[in-house]
Structure 1
Amino acid sequence: MKTILLKANDIDLDKASQLLSDGELVAIPTETVYGLAADASNISAINKIFEVKKRPQSHPLILHLRSIDQLNDWAIDIPSDVHNLAKHFWPGPMSLLLKKHPDVLSEITGGSDKICIRIPNHPVTLSLLTILNKGIVAPSANLFGRVSPTSAQHVLDDLDGKISAILDGGQCEVGLESTIIDLTEIKPKILRPGGLPIAHIEEVIDKKILPHSNSDEKISGNLLNHYQPRASVHPYEKSEIEHLINDMPINKSVLLLLSDINKNNIHIHQMPKDAYQYGQVFYSTLRLMDDKKYEKIYIELPPEKSEWYAIHDRIKKASFKI
């Protein structure tokens, strides 16, 4: 199979829509990461996602819609918080876990009676969804468990020859996956921190929400080992960095730093001190370090503050050893 690169124009959007209608897989841009899209009503196409990504079929997929007007076709018993949150954060990096409509394919939800839904905030994909006039499922467009793609080139690096097309929408603006909020119980829960800060959610629903990092709920990205580059990842507290530098292997190792430290004898890559900017470049930096053939990536852990929670989550999973 030859993977074609499509541009963000009317002709190529029509091509992408036709491919999806024909049961093919198309990588699409979102504000978070690139997704591997399939028609959410096509079992064969959905199964291709699991095959191409080498993703366990028990691991649910996130449904992408163009409008909240389509929500009743996919979910039932929709709580009032949904419309309040949607008013503020859709389109955007927020996914809501809801009770699924009986007609939703079990292949999407991994056999669960719940479904995760979002409306992506990317003009190219919103246009595609309008043309297609269907829901699509779209996990990250990479091999399962590896670093998520934030550019069309990243997708090509992982899936060239394995999918029909990549719709190039430029670099992803947010760079981290969506925040997943469980609204199937009386009290909302954060199941996956992401591109939407928890503090913003709490302001809108006027409720305190605690992240549930140990939740056994079946959702995307809840495995302990995830988002992993080829290089091994080793996180360190700021207080440990100076000692680390003295003992750090030189040739095939790199240190991702927040602190301003200059050392001529080791490889240093300076990371943004702002949490949002850090999230924008985190995955692309891990991929860059792989491209440079580093075998070990040492990371200075960011502050223990709420705005850094998603970054801590990704570093923890990127560094988890089975």
Structure 2
Amino acid sequence: MEVNRSMQTGKAKIVRMTEDNLDMDALREAGRILRSGGLVAFPTETVYGLGGNALDPEASRKIYAAKGRPSDNPLIVHIADLEHLFPLVREFPEKARRLAERYWPGPLTMIFQKTDLVPYETTGGLDTVAVRFPDNAIAREMIRQGGGYVAAPSANTSGRPSPTLASHVEEDLGSRIDMIIDGGQVNIGLESTIVDFSEGHPVILRPGFLNQEMLENVIGEVTVDPGIMSENIHVRPKAPGMRYKHYAPKADLAIVEGQPEAVFSKIRELTEKRLSEGFRVGIICTEESRDRYTEGDIRCIGSRADDRTIAHHLYEILRDFDADGVDYIYTESFETPRMGQAIMNRLIKAAGHEVIQA
């Protein structure tokens, strides 16, 4: 492999490519690593994933170990061809088929009753399997080269903000995995929507780019699991991110809710107090509210007029605050129409459910 296309940093080999210019030599090497039980981080349209052979129990154990992830938190099996779904699942319901026709490849994960082909090490001990067909040419070719079935949670240390750049992966896992495929910044920035079909009626277990309305336009009524925005430590998670604290920066993060003017005033008050105590304070605002703040490490996350920009920058901003060494972060709340539920789901878990009413 040419030196200018790859580099060795710690343990992980880093290779760079784009969806329009695939490095097939590097992808074949990634496939060999996966087939031999190794781990490869790779870009998808949502976040970077940490891939291992989904049908190899030992590879799944390596994923959990590399991330420091609880072993009852199920992994998502990524496929690159629809026909590869059928050996994994006992049933493919008609409504799931219609969603696949509309949104696969894309940011949608569906849960089904599994076959014996899928080891319990991959499903977190459950009799169900979560499956996704990513909309990223690098990911799909890597999956094919790796044998067609790649288990992949987000490529970060468990509990940290998910990676949207290869540098985030290197920071967290560079010494624990075999290869990182750098495909540039991801498009969406939040994990896939998860819909559970394992008990008949479709239920959203994790909100994402595809919201409830978009799903219902295709298949009719879809239920939202009430645990999405709450914290229940007694329920065994059927999908990634349902129980454990996720996406958290190193600083103490709090969400401030209320009427806009009250929120601005409360964040200014909290910031002034913490600064007077000698702490470093970060503020997450939008283009619409940027001029309401004058003190602290102020970062604009995007525009409320296009909440996809907020989703796109969320994890990156949380990691930027880590790099800045802030002690406290105060963020506005984002109950926006398009992706508000997904954004707030991630923020609430990142904040450990710390919400301040203004």
- Aligned-partner residue type, residue 265 of structure 2: E
The 3-state SS of whatever aligns with 1:75 is coil
1:79-118, Cα deviation, whole Å (9 max, x unpaired): 1112100111111110001010122101011111111000
Aligned residue in 1 for 2:131: 117
8 A contact 1:146–1:228 mirrored in 2: yes
The Cα of 1:42 is off from its aligned counterpart by 1.6
Q: In structure 2, what is the equivalent of residue 286 of structure 1?
A: 318
Q: Structure 1 304/131 Cα, relative in aligned 2: closer, same or farther at 3 Å?
A: closer
Amino-acid identity (%): 33
Give the deviation of 1:17 after TM superposition. Answer: 0.7
User: Secondary structure of the residue that 2:339 maps to in structure 1?
Assistant: helix
Letter in 1 for 2:85: L
Distance 1:77 1:201 in 2: 20
Aligned pairs for 1:1-322 (under 5 A) are 2-8=11-17, 9-212=23-226, 213=228, 216=235, 217-237=237-257, 238=260, 239-248=262-271, 249-250=274-275, 251-258=279-286, 259-273=289-303, 274-303=306-335, 305=337, 307-320=339-352
| Residues in 2 aligned to 1:191 and 1:210: alpha-carbon distance in whole angstroms | 7
Q: Secondary structure at the match of 2:224?
A: coil
**Alpha-carbon distance in structure 1 between the residues aligned to 2:214 and 2:26:** 36
Residue 5 (structure 2) aligns with: none
Residues 106 and 243 of structure 1: CA distance in aligned 2, closer, same or farther (over 3 Å): closer
Quote the Cα distance in structure 2 between the aligned partners of 1:111 and 1:315: 28
4+ residue segments displaced more than 4 Å: none
**In 2 relative to 1, CA 7–242 (structure 1 residues): closer, same or farther, beyond 3 Å?**
same
* CA displacement 1:195-235 (0-9 Å, x = unmatched): 22221111111224334325834211112521111111110
Contact 1:78 1:99 in 2 (8 A): no
**CA–CA distance in structure 2, aligned partners of residues 14 and 199 of structure 1:** 40
CA distances 1:270-302 after superposition (whole Å, capped 9, x unpaired): 221221111111000100111111111100001
Partner Cα distance (1:27, 1:280) in 2: 19
- The answer to whether the Cα contact below 8 Å between 1:224 and 1:320 also exists between their aligned partners in 2 is no
How far the C-alpha of 1:260 sits from its partner, in A, is: 3.8
- Contact kept? 1:199, 1:306, Cα under 8 Å: no
Unaligned stretches of 5+ in structure 1?
none
Q: Which secondary structure does the structure 1 equivalent of 2:129 belong to?
A: strand
Counterpart of 1:285 in 2: which secondary structure? helix
Please tell me the root mean square deviation across aligned C-alpha atoms, in Å.
1.7
Q: 1:26 to 1:224 in 2, by over 3 A?
A: closer
1:225–1:321: 8 Å Cα contact kept in structure 2?
no
Query: When the two structures are aligned, how many residues end up with a matched partner?
Result: 322
Distance 1:169 1:25, change over 3 A: same
Measured after TM superposition, the shift of residue 262 of structure 1 is 3.8
5+ residue gaps, structure 2, are: 1-9, 18-22
TM-score normalised over the length of structure 1:
0.95
TM-score, length of structure 2 as denominator length:
0.86
Question: How far 1:246 sits from its partner (Å)?
Answer: 2.8
Structure 1 residues 236, 129: closer, same or farther in 2, change over 3 A? same
Q: Is the 8 A contact 1:93 1:177 kept in 2?
A: yes
Cα–Cα, structure 1 residues 288 and 168, in superposed 2: closer, same or farther, change >3 Å? Answer: same
Contact 2:88-2:118 at 8 Å conserved across structures: yes
Is contact 2:31-2:147 (8 Å) kept? no
Q: Distance in 1 between matches of 2:294 and 2:348?
A: 28
CA contact 2:203–2:222 (8 Å) conserved in 1 = no
